[in-house]
Amino acid sequence: MTTIPVARDLSSIDATLPHVQAAFGVLRRVEIRRNQKNEPYADFELSDCSASFRCKAWASAHDALDAVRQLAAGTPVKALFEVDSYQGTTQLDVKRLRAVTEQDGDEGYDPARLFGPAHAFVQRFACATLVFDIETVPTVDLRKAPATIAQAVSKAAERREYDEAKVMGLSPFFGQVVSLAVGDGSRDPADMPVTAFVVPPAGRDLPELPDWIVPIGEKELLETFWGLAALAETVVTFNGQNFDVPYLVARSVILDVAARVDLLGRNRAHCDVCSVLTQGGRNLQPATLEVVCWALGIESPKGDMDGSRVAPAYAAGELEKIATYNAADVRATGAVYRRLQEHVLRFRTHL
């Protein structure tokens, strides 16, 4: 009886083996398509903390094709496959696939390799439709930066007609994430429970915070986010394609955190409701969250707090105030997403 080798993780798959291998991974970005013979096949990804591979399950591998159809994105699976190449890129030709079981621990299955070391912590907040928003503040003292760096900030501020602090707060190279609020987009926005992960300012005593606010370091916040994104079928943002996701990716690179989920490609993994609503139309501007909520008859998330006041509030240690503002944006984004589901998204095969 031939023993099928099981890769320790996806990055250790042996592309030189001419026979079937096995590996554990997270099922992502599933699409059922048809070839020129009108035969169905599955186009999807398997990912873990070490790598991500594009995969195919052809009609001839009907068990694998049926499994991909039935399993939700974000499901940990065991796959049997042969290594193939398409247009110079390695891909996996999947022969069989199933959800992992308790017995797979005997063959080396470790959820931490798929979802990250914070898996047990992240599971408490996981949901299939993850709505999120971030708040950021500037952290760099330009007086201590090289002259050319300070000049780059000054030129950007002049070009955009912003003050330098705002430019730095909007740049992952000069600022940091201080709050990440997440909610379940499948819930009624009015009743959506929101969790806010906040980064306490250095040198200040941590104030007493309600249970829905979780103090955490920025690196741990980033690891938590990518863990949640890996477990979700869809990640929902407002203007996340242009701001939130690129900011998180850059901060992850800076802090040596793996940005493990592609949320910037054209795929169903990320629904930017601003992009869907405006369809990229410049003539539809301004399209801020407040404007969109007003136009749709949704309660505005904006109160006494706004983005320009986050940095002063953070300097004063007002974490609950920032988290409450952040959570309101998540609920409003969830409400816009629900409206789009009804009138737009159910008619689309791609976002």
- pLDDT (tens digit per residue) in 201-240: 988 888 899 999 999 999 999 999 998 998 888 999 999 9
Residue 351, pLDDT > 60, answer no
Mean pLDDT rounded to a whole number for the chain: 90
Give Dmax over CA atoms of the chain in angstroms. 71
DSSP 185: T
Q: What share of the chain in percent tops pLDDT 70?
A: 97
3-state DSSP assignment of residue 279? coil
266 falls in which pLDDT band (50, 70, 90)? low
Cα first-last separation, the chain: 46
Both tokens of 48, joined, read 């873990």
Residue 145, pLDDT > 70, answer yes
User: Average pLDDT of 243-265?
Assistant: 93
pLDDT at 63: 94
331 falls in which pLDDT band (50, 70, 90)? very high
Q: What share of the chain in percent tops pLDDT 90?
A: 58
User: Average pLDDT of 90-110?
Assistant: 90
User: Average pLDDT of 114-127?
Assistant: 83
Q: What is the model's pTM?
A: 0.83
pLDDT at 339: 94
Residue 334, pLDDT > 90, answer yes
Q: Which residue has the higher pLDDT, 299 or 182?
A: 182
C-alpha–C-alpha distance, residues 230 and 270, integer Å: 11
pLDDT at 137: 95
Q: How many CA atoms lie within 13 A of 186 on its CB side?
A: 7
Residue 119, pLDDT > 80, answer no
Q: Which residues of 303-320 are buried (b: 16+ CB within 10 A; e: fewer)?
A: eebeeeebbebbeebbbb
**Does an H or E element contain 235, and which?**
strand 234-237
Residue 281, pLDDT > 60, answer yes
pLDDT at 118: 73
Residue 123, pLDDT > 80, answer yes
Q: What is the residue whose two structure tokens read 């592609």?
A: 262
pLDDT at 332: 96
303 falls in which pLDDT band (50, 70, 90)? confident
